[in-house]
Structure 1
Amino acid sequence: MPATYKNCLLIDDNYIDNFVTRRILESSNFVEAIAVRQSATEAIDALRDGSVKPDVIFLDLRMPLMNGFEFLNEFDKIDFDGKEAIKIFMLSSSLDPTDVKRSTENKYVVQFIHKPLTHKILEELGT
């Protein structure tokens, strides 16, 4: 069975969260390739220079320097082919209803997912 997505960009400042999320994504055959950036600024740079061309992005909300919402603002300013087709999933441990509401109101965010990512969640996303 082919993977649901070809290229994934995982943006999270927490090494352990990245390790766990990456393992779940790999073992579920959700994506073929995973690029990890430990800051939103690194991710924006990679998108700008074209070194990362994701079909799907898993974006942490709470990060130093640039948070998930600030990433979305910068993402909106970048112009590149295929941008509108990218699915962004906000992946956060935040329980703040304002964060959930703000995420789901963003035109790029498909869904807010509470950490940790699980096989069950990915199965639901793939359908």
Structure 2
Amino acid sequence: MSNYKTCLLIDDNYIDNFVTRKILESGEFAEKVIVSQSASDAIDSLRSGAIKPDVIFLDIRMPMMGGFEFLQEYDKLDIANKQTIKIFMLSSSLDPTDLKKSTNNKYITSFIHKPLTQKSLDDICK
């Protein structure tokens, strides 16, 4: 049985999205996995109510709007379940500044290093 109804994956890398989506689906992490290759498109979908996720996996380094810029725009959103959505920063970044910024952000549940693994999912679900 799925832990979440809707999972939103925001990452500009097609291969990373393919792998992460397969892991999320095989682990039955969510009933529905939605992929957005653009953080700004994801913000628009959240703002309009087209996507109502329970959990978000967010990359840091993306063109146009990165993960931290997404979080600034997310903070401005007026959506009903914003405080209950779990956001996991999913990144290959080894920059200690990124980890610190993630830890200090009120919306980030935790920082997960890419690639996502079944063990990472198991740890989230505990």
TM-score band, normalised by shorter chain: over 0.9
Partner of 1:96: 95
| Residues 18-39 of structure 1 deviation map (CA, whole Å, 9 limit, x = unaligned) | 0000000000011110111101
Residue 69 of structure 1 and its aligned partner are, at CA, apart by 0.2
1:70-89 matches, within 5 Å, as: 70-89=69-88
1:54 is paired with a residue whose SS is: coil
1:2-81 matches, within 5 Å, as: 2-81=1-80
Q: Aligned partners of 2:49 and 2:32: how far apart in 1?
A: 15
Residue 104 of structure 1 and its aligned partner are, at CA, apart by 1.1
Partner of 2:121: 122
| Residues 94-121 of structure 1 deviation map (CA, whole Å, 9 limit, x = unaligned) | 0001100101110000000000000001
2:89 is paired with a residue whose SS is: strand
- TM-score of the superposition, structure 2-length normalised? 0.99
Question: Taking every aligned residue pair, what percent have the same amino acid on both sides?
Answer: 67
Q: Which amino acid aligns with 1:106?
A: N
1:26 is paired with a residue whose SS is: helix
Structure 2: tracts of 5 or more residues without a match = none
| Residues 32-53 of structure 1 deviation map (CA, whole Å, 9 limit, x = unaligned) | 1011110100100000111000
2:15 is paired with a residue whose SS is: helix
Q: Aligned partners of 2:31 and 2:109: how far apart in 1?
A: 20
- TM-score of the superposition, structure 1-length normalised? 0.98
Q: Aligned partners of 1:114 and 1:124: how far apart in 2?
A: 13
Q: Aligned partners of 1:122 and 1:111: how far apart in 2?
A: 12
Structure 1: tracts of 5 or more residues without a match = none
Q: Aligned partners of 1:35 and 1:24: how far apart in 2?
A: 13
Q: Which amino acid aligns with 1:50?
A: G
Q: Which amino acid aligns with 2:52?
A: K
Partner of 1:112: 111
Q: Which amino acid aligns with 1:65?
A: M
Q: Aligned partners of 2:55 and 2:2: how far apart in 1?
A: 12
CA RMSD of aligned residues (A): 0.5
